A and B are shown apart, each in its own frame.
Chain A
Amino acid sequence: MPDMVRIVHYLNAFFGGVGGEAEAQTPVSVHAGALGPGRLLEHALAGQGQVAATLMCGDGYWAEHEETVVQQVREHLQQLKPDVFLAGPAFRSGRYGLACGRLCLEAERLGIPAVTGMHVENPGSDLYRSEHVYIVATEASAVGMRPALERMVALAIKRARHEPLGTAAEEGFLPRAVRRTVPTGIPAAQRAVDMALRKWRGEPYTSEIAVETFEAVPPAPAVSNPAQMWLALVTESGLVRKGNPDRLPSAAATHWAAYTIAGMERLVAGEWDAVHGGYDNTAALQDPNRVVPLDALRALEREGVIGKLDDTLFVTVGNIGSLNAMKRIGAEIAARLVQRGVQAVVLPAT
């Protein structure tokens, strides 16, 4: 446990004192000791640590040379070997927030605890919280510099000393897509009833699980001429070829599979498995068309009600899927669909 915590601090050129937008093209430089807000940071440390070095880079340079900056910062960190890496705070500055988030992620990958600070609406917040980066919640502007640095320092000291951390709300960082098991000594049923009673009495209560919020997706325009549309089938039902050649898991999938259905009039029982662990697959195995209705869609195709059914069936398992994994899988499949020229999708979900 280090008595004196050794810190490396990252700043953009503006906060580093080089100047404003005109100097945003400043490449990475390293300075001994604290710079700009780093001095306030040292004050907040109150003798528990010191800023060994400051890394600085212009936000414009970052935006245009992200991988170069990452490489250089990694090299500096490997050389400087800090106990903890601090970046920003970036408040609501977009490019600065993206740099702080990414560099903290890189420091963590090198085994160096990292902490940054930004406003919840900074684009770096959503992107790097989901990568489990510690981001202290700050005001939208540098008016909130002092409290931001104080909270960042408090968290950084704990992390440098490998002390146990409280919840996101207790420590003041933005929830970072991590759930921990916490013993409470009270069974879940009793806690649930207690919470329900508090709610019923109009007393304050706190949910134990933050409800995930979902971004609103603008609806795609309607198909104007179904007789000409190119339609594809995508499913999260885990309906896979017999033997599960792509090894889709029964839950918490992180990948997807594609199977040809070219020339098939229907999905034939015995040729398909249903590996999704969240439902009874008896009826699906007896007749896989009960999950993916190829037989009925082929009839519509023959009759000219729909234009053409795509030759590929895209499959993943939605059971206990993490939002991030599902988002990525969705984006990957969507990219394939766009590439193929698919115009509409039917998605059976179990």
Chain B
Amino acid sequence: MGIPTVLATCLYTVATRVGANRIVRGGRFHHPFGAPEKPLAEEYAWRRQFVEQTIRALCTPVQQPTVFDVE
């Protein structure tokens, strides 16, 4: 059955090509869950939204490598 896994990365094309099934696109190469250009509180709010999207990806049935975007 396997353990559902969500890959959080800005390199979503690479992730898709290697066959990761749940991918959340966002962040930067150096810090997938970071946005250091934002003020701290805003950065945290953005990170939280990103983390919520990873949970949604885990709860979504997929048939093939699928990219979920942070809105």
User: Which residues of A does B touch, CB under 8 Å?
Assistant: 214-224, 226, 229, 231, 234, 237, 279-284, 286-287, 289-293, 295-297, 299-300, 305-306, 334, 337-338, 342-350
Tell me, in angstroms, the Cα distance from A348 to B47 when the chains sit together: 12
Cβ of A349 and Cβ of B11 under 8 Å apart?
Answer: yes
Query: At the interface, yes or no: B70 with Cβ under 8 Å from chain A?
Result: no
Most B-side CB within 10 Å, residue of A281, A284, A292, A343: A284
Tell me, in angstroms, the Cα distance from A69 to B47 when the chains sit together: 56
CB A233 to nearest CB in B, in angstroms, measures 10
Sorting the interface of chain B by its residue count into under 10, 10 to 19, 20 to 34 or 35 or more gives: 35 or more
CB B10 to nearest CB in A, in angstroms, measures 9
Cβ of B61 and Cβ of A222 under 8 Å apart?
Answer: yes
A226, A291, A337: the one within 8 Å of B55 (CB): A226
14 further interface pairs, Cβ-Cβ under 8 Å (given A222-B62, A346-B54): A216-B19, A220-B2, A220-B3, A220-B4, A222-B61, A289-B33, A290-B27, A291-B34, A295-B47, A296-B47, A337-B3, A344-B3, A346-B5, A347-B5
B4, B31, B50: the one within 8 Å of A223 (CB): B4
Query: At the interface, yes or no: B60 with Cβ under 8 Å from chain A?
Result: yes
Cβ of B3 and Cβ of A349 under 8 Å apart?
Answer: no
* Count of A-B residue pairs with CB < 8 Å: 138
Residues of chain A within 8 A of B43, CB atoms compared: 290
B9, B19, B35, B36: the one within 8 Å of A217 (CB): B19
Tell me, in angstroms, the Cα distance from A22 to B31 when the chains sit together: 61
Nearest-CB residue, chain B, relative to A299: B48
A223, A229, A297: the one within 8 Å of B51 (CB): A297
Cβ of A214 and Cβ of B30 under 8 Å apart?
Answer: no
Cβ of A226 and Cβ of B33 under 8 Å apart?
Answer: no
A219, A220, A291: the one within 8 Å of B31 (CB): A291
Cβ of A305 and Cβ of B30 under 8 Å apart?
Answer: no
Tell me, in angstroms, the Cα distance from A299 to B21 when the chains sit together: 26
Query: At the interface, yes or no: B8 with Cβ under 8 Å from chain A?
Result: yes
Cβ of B3 and Cβ of A342 under 8 Å apart?
Answer: yes
Query: At the interface, yes or no: B41 with Cβ under 8 Å from chain A?
Result: no
Residues of chain A within 8 A of B28, CB atoms compared: 283
Tell me, in angstroms, the Cα distance from A237 to B11 when the chains sit together: 13
Residues of chain B within 8 A of A291, CB atoms compared: 31-34
CB B71 to nearest CB in A, in angstroms, measures 16
Tell me, in angstroms, the Cα distance from A156 to B55 when the chains sit together: 55
